[in-house]
Structure 1
Amino acid sequence: MALTTATHPDRPSAAGIQPSRSMRARMQDALPKLVLAPSFAITLIFVYGFILWTIYLSFTNSKAFPKYVLTDARAYQRLWRWTFESDPPSSWYTSITNMGIFGVLYIAICLGLGLLIAILLDQKIRGEGLLRPIYLYPMALSFIVTGVAWKWFLDPGLGLEQTLHQWGWTSFHFDWIKNKDFVIYTVVIAGVWQASGFVMAMFLAGLRGIDSEIVKASQIDGASTFQLYRRIIIPLLRPVFLSALIVLAHMAIKSYDLVVALTSGGPGGSAWLPSNFMYEYTFKRNEMAVGSASAVIMLATISAIIVPYLYSELREKAR
């Protein structure tokens, strides 16, 4: 008896269904790429493309307008000659000096203060839910708002000094914002006020992620609170320290608007950071090559911090 396979005339065959399903799968795979393609192209052109363009301009003699004839590294030579001269004719020496002062103090104080506040909040104190957003709120403000607010507060004729004089403390003087030797420290104060709450949130999340069994075992073994934090808890926060360090270093190197809003550059440009130097020389003094060279040095500084961090993270994930 011969067996035959009958196919219903109105029912599609399996061979007819398979191509349509594979076509649908290919479309589903291609859709995310099509959606992301415009933003990827824009990022490629307006970020990495302009980075390459800036590097190229730093090796030219561009002034008010770009020039595309390469002239070796004269712009870099001018920058570093100004840096090592005893009486530099520009503010590049001041800018990199301020960057060192601001960067070290800003990062160190934010890390220390953020860790301290996080440890105190981790003690399950009453009102923690209210205190956390209060500490974190400054990070929601722009640097312009922060700079203007602290400018009013530190102005001797408007803020803290004037208020204490009205209360009878006439011997109090705090004119750092108008003193060229101390104005950079006012930028540190404003920057720490804004970023320390964000660092606190990072450390608090890290503290809440530590296994409580490790803490209990250490307490059973007789470890004091100081030993517990110094030998166990703080070493376990190493990834948080690294992440906070990267974020703070990036914010410190690219800081511009905080300096402008707070000090307007300071007396004679005494509060300039490299970003302020770059803007001044590129757009106001018609020294595009010199400004591009300073921007490339800023990029190299950020890369020297971020690239090793990314390399270590990728290597750990590959293990």
Structure 2
Amino acid sequence: MSQAAKRGLAARRILERQLPKIVVSPLFAASLFFVYGFIAWTVYISFTRSGVLPSYTLDGLSQYIRLWATPRWQVALSNLFIFCTLFITLCTVIGVLLAILLDQRIRIEGVIRTVYLYPMALSFIVTGTAWKWILNPGLGIERLMHSLGFANFHFDWLVNPQMAIYTVVIAGVWQSSGYVMALFLAGLRSVDDEIIKAAAIDGAGPLRTYASVVLPIMRPVFLSSFIILAHLAIKSFDLVVALTGGGPGYATDMPATFMYSFAFQRSELGTAAASAVMMLATILAVIVPYLYSELRGASK
């Protein structure tokens, strides 16, 4: 083989080795700039006195002090705590119970699975709009009950500042519990049948088998479900906007809707950036321990 042919073959081999990097590098650069670059920009803006337009003169922690002194932010945090607690708990309980039911391989398994998975195909905007009609006192459940003769029936949670946040919980659980069901059903189907048979031989009934043997094995599924649901809850925006618009007043405000309102409606960019950073910190507080446990488990 001539020297020119050898050089051509070597160049071709180098190109083949570097081709994946060449293909991926533009996407990586775009992600680096448009995701991490704007995260860094938001963090920087949160330490400035930005208003309608961004200001690049540092002003310390003034925006964070103002943020935590804002009553509306306190309401948003309170709503986030209520929503996260109820949303994660109810989705997990309903999802686990449905998964255990379907794990019995009942005849209508396909129908139940379709019914509970269908909401996941909808966007939160569609879910919020549909539940807004259902829970509207003049259109939905309350009017239906009145038409059936129950004149004293009242269900005004949607317009009640004390109860409106729970309508967001109802809509969120309706949409996401089917996804949790699918996660746990896949986990249950992967459990070795010999373990269940051994528990039955030892005299354990179905309830005790699932509670004491099967579910403890599925700790990774519980953890994954918690991470996904917590992430959905923390960044909830479209569901709240479609269902309540953050109202009545700002009774159902969440950190995401607070950030949007201050950034695009009240033109207080610095405070909005500070709230966005606090949301990011909350998400990292949930995800980083999970990633650490996963990487630590993989290294053993």
Normalising by structure 1, report the TM-score: 0.91
Q: Given residue 232 of structure 1, which amino acid in structure 2 is its aligned partner?
A: V
Q: Kindly tell me the number of residue pairs found equivalent between the two proteins.
A: 300
Q: Given residue 25 of structure 2, which amino acid in structure 1 is its aligned partner?
A: A
Counterpart of 1:226 in structure 2 is 207
Q: Given residue 68 of structure 2, which amino acid in structure 1 is its aligned partner?
A: W
Q: Given residue 127 of structure 1, which amino acid in structure 2 is its aligned partner?
A: I
Q: CA deviation at 1:80?
A: 1.7
Q: CA deviation at 1:16?
A: 6.8
Counterpart of 1:26 in structure 2 is 14
The correspondence of residues 79-228 of structure 1 with structure 2, limited to 5 A, is 79-82=67-70, 88=71, 91-228=72-209
Q: 1:227 to 1:28 in 2, by over 3 A?
A: same
Counterpart of 1:289 in structure 2 is 270
Q: Does 1:37 align with 2:18?
A: no
Q: Distance between the aligned counterparts of 1:277 and 1:193, measured in 2?
A: 24
Q: Distance between the aligned counterparts of 1:265 and 1:193, measured in 2?
A: 19
Q: Distance between the aligned counterparts of 1:27 and 1:78, measured in 2?
A: 55
Q: Distance between the aligned counterparts of 1:224 and 1:18, measured in 2?
A: 72
Q: Does 1:308 align with 2:289?
A: yes
Counterpart of 1:275 in structure 2 is 256
Q: Distance between the aligned counterparts of 2:247 and 2:265, measured in 1?
A: 17
Q: Distance between the aligned counterparts of 1:227 and 1:159, measured in 2?
A: 41
Stretches of structure 1 that go unaligned for 5 or more consecutive residues are 1-11, 83-87
Answer with 1 or 2: which has the greater Rg. Answer: 1
Stretches of structure 2 that go unaligned for 5 or more consecutive residues are none
Q: Given residue 43 of structure 1, which amino acid in structure 2 is its aligned partner?
A: S
Q: Does 1:253 align with 2:225?
A: no
Q: Distance between the aligned counterparts of 1:22 and 1:241, measured in 2?
A: 51
Q: Deviations over 1:163-216 (max 9, x none)?
A: 111011111110000000000000000000000000000000000011111111
Q: Distance between the aligned counterparts of 2:199 and 2:16, measured in 1?
A: 52
Q: 1:225 to 1:73 in 2, by over 3 A?
A: same
Q: CA deviation at 1:128?
A: 1.1
Q: CA deviation at 1:20?
A: 4.2
Q: CA deviation at 1:18?
A: 5.2
Q: CA RMSD in A?
A: 1.2
Q: Does 1:57 align with 2:45?
A: yes
Q: CA deviation at 1:24?
A: 2.9
Normalising by structure 2, report the TM-score: 0.97
Identity of aligned residues (%): 56
Q: Secondary structure at the match of 1:70?
A: coil
1:47 to 35, 49, 60: 35
Q: CA deviation at 1:42?
A: 1.0
